[in-house]
Amino acid sequence: MSTSRLLSVLPMRPASSRPSVAGRALLAVTLSLVAFGLISVYSASSYVAQVQGLEDSHYLFQQASRAGIGLAVLAAASVVNYRLYQRLAWPLLGLTVVLLVALLLPWTEAIVPRINGARRWLDLGVTVQPSELAKISVVLWTAAIAVKKQNRLHSFRYGLLPFLLVLGPLCLLVLLEPHFSATVMIAAVAATVLFTAGARFGHFAVLTAATLPVLWMQVMGSGYRLARVTAFMNPDSTAAAGGYQLKQSLMAVGSGGMFGVGFGRSSLKMSYLPEPQNDFIYSVVAEEWGFVGAAAVILLFLAWALLGLRISRAAPDLYGRLVAVGITALVAFAAFGHIGVALGLLPTTGINLPFISAGGTNLILMLGMTGILLNVSKGVRA
């Protein structure tokens, strides 16, 4: 029996005006992660802020304001019927494509800052990162179209190929920023939604085999990506290049021991770890809170993922199930991707730790997606 057919026979329960038990537990876990994220951002960024001539609490207040906006978005999304996104799937995807194209146009350079050689942000008075919007719009769009094509998903030509014709160019736009990790994330989440909807595993295996050479060419054709992969394979061989970030991260994790060096006492955040409040915040957490604290963060994300899957399994319709699966996969892939980089289990790349890393667009959208999950959970009493 296919995954979609299995999901379709799950018992339906009467709708509720409030989130289910799983939904309320998910909210509690989310708020715990956000609160821990605020103190972690303060600790990780205080030295950076001082070096930049700012107040040591500058990034804390910035993150707190973003968390406030994100919680308001979460509250709003939790009361908006998630089926609305099914009707808005194409407009949302279209808006995302327009923003991604705007990043690459030569006459938009005034509002597209180039940071570390990449054009990923739009300065519209507030800074917006279109690749973050792409992640959620792809989930909502893929789920909506998968519901329409459910009976044809077993066919590559009439089921999977139409998705590739839309998602392929979108992923290319993200890759051209360049934003390699976001490209892989978007493709992986879309594949997760489609597989859950009933697409054949064999088709994904063939697509993966065909895509790997392209990804390898992207790595070989980029000096910094190749250095990072080389460092991942042998950190000691490239201490001055791609291995530096990994070695500093591992030193921070190892320095924490069982119970950590104490809150605010990380030494590796002081000009050693790059972007300690963003890309390597888990390393700072591990140094300051030790194995116990680092493991607790992992357990919180495992709980978040399991609760998301529980909500998905009990959702009242296929669209709700697919949206919940996609959102859960997006948070889980990002969380364990970030942690994997910090621990040297994955090549170094820039992935925010959901709800914890500093960053406006990512935090607000993650909280908004949590609100959508809470709305899905209102349809059941799970």
Question: Has this prediction a pTM greater than 0.75?
Answer: yes
8 Å CB contact between 247 and 239 = yes
Structure tokens at 90: 């194409």
pLDDT surpassing 90 at residue 77 = yes
pLDDT surpassing 80 at residue 382 = no
pLDDT surpassing 60 at residue 290 = yes
Q: How far apart are CA 327 and CA 312, in angstroms?
A: 10
pLDDT surpassing 80 at residue 358 = yes
- pLDDT digit string, tens, across residues 151-161: 899 888 888 89
pLDDT surpassing 90 at residue 67 = yes
What pLDDT sits at residue 380? 60
Which of 207, 205, 182 lies closest to 350, judged by CA? 182
What pLDDT sits at residue 3? 44
- pLDDT digit string, tens, across residues 228-259: 777 777 766 654 455 778 888 899 999 999 99
Which of 212, 221, 294 lies closest to 257, judged by CA? 294
Domains of the chain: which residue ranges?
Answer: 25-377
Q: How far apart are CA 131 and CA 171, in angstroms?
A: 9
Burial of 3: CB neighbours in 10 Å, binned 0-12, 13-18, 19+: middle
pLDDT surpassing 90 at residue 145 = yes
Q: Which of 175-189, 203-217, 306-320 has the lowest mean pLDDT?
A: 203-217
Which of 70, 22, 139 lies closest to 378, judged by CA? 22
Which of 265, 299, 301, 308 lies closest to 285, judged by CA? 265
What pLDDT sits at residue 323? 98
What pLDDT sits at residue 295? 97
Q: Which of 52-61, 105-114, 190-199, 228-237 has the lowest mean pLDDT?
A: 228-237
Burial of 43: CB neighbours in 10 Å, binned 0-12, 13-18, 19+: buried
8 Å CB contact between 297 and 330 = no
What pLDDT sits at residue 223? 64
What pLDDT sits at residue 372? 97
Which of 101, 222, 90 lies closest to 173, judged by CA? 101
SS3 letters across 304-315: HHHHHHHHHHCC
pLDDT surpassing 50 at residue 381 = no
- What's the mean pLDDT when you consider all of the chain? 88
> In this structure, what DSSP letter does residue 127 have?
E
Which of 236, 256, 255 lies closest to 246, judged by CA? 236
8 Å CB contact between 20 and 382 = yes
CA-based end-to-end distance of the chain: 24
What pLDDT sits at residue 221? 66
- pLDDT digit string, tens, across residues 3-37: 443 333 333 343 456 788 999 999 999 999 999 99
* Alpha helix (H) residue ranges in the chain: 3-8, 21-51, 58-79, 84-87, 89-104, 130-148, 161-175, 180-197, 201-220, 223-233, 243-255, 281-313, 318-342, 360-377
